[in-house]
Amino acid sequence: MVELSDLQVSRTIVVEAPPAHVYEIIADVTRIGELSPVCKAAWWDEGSTPHEGAWFTGRNEVEGRDPWERRCEVFIAEPGRAFGWVAGGREEGVVEWSYRFRPVDRGTEVEESWTILRMVDRLSALGDEFLNNLKSSTESGIEATLANLKKIAES
């Protein structure tokens, strides 16, 4: 049986650009379509900007499934250091996405993390095979996102 602690992924990459520049790309959620293979677009809700407590909506597309949108609440926005959100909001959300930026000799080490925060009935009802596939596809998606971020930040 898949445990909640199994449902997290974290990957890192070194980007040859300063942390502040890499942060600006990630914190501008309107650029997510340039980076992510799943989240094709995002926009700030009600004219918001990247700050803790801000809300945005992301539009996801996966082959074989109807596109869906999810409102997300920013839980951390520290320029040059960290940016993250919870899909569905901090109170009721299930999935957390975060980025950490650490200065290194050649630029910035970027860590992208995905964590299932709570096992809700609708998620556990999907079964272990689905959850393992979700984790695997998320790993691939994070690796693609980080590779795209590297290309964009270094150009």
* Residue whose C-alpha is closest to residue 4's, from 133, 142, 123, 139: 123
Retrieve residue 107's tokens: 């630029």
Query: Residue 147 sits in which domain range?
Result: 4-154
Picking from 116, 151, 95, 79, the residue whose alpha carbon sits closest to that of residue 3 is 116
Residue 1: the pLDDT is 77
Per-residue pLDDT of the chain (155 residues; tens, 9 = 90+): 778 778 899 999 999 999 999 999 999 999 999 999 999 999 999 888 999 999 999 999 999 999 999 999 999 999 999 999 999 999 999 999 999 999 999 999 999 999 998 876 677 778 888 888 999 999 999 999 999 999 999 99
Domains of the chain: total: 1
CATH of residue 101's domain is 3.30.530.20
Look at residue 67 in the predicted model and tell me its pLDDT: 97
pLDDT of residue 126: 81
pLDDT in the model for residue 4: 75
pTM score of the predicted model: 0.94
* Cα separation values, 55 from 9, 29, 46, 103, 137, Å: 23, 10, 8, 28, 25
Report the half-sphere exposure of 87 (CA within 13 A, side-chain side): 17
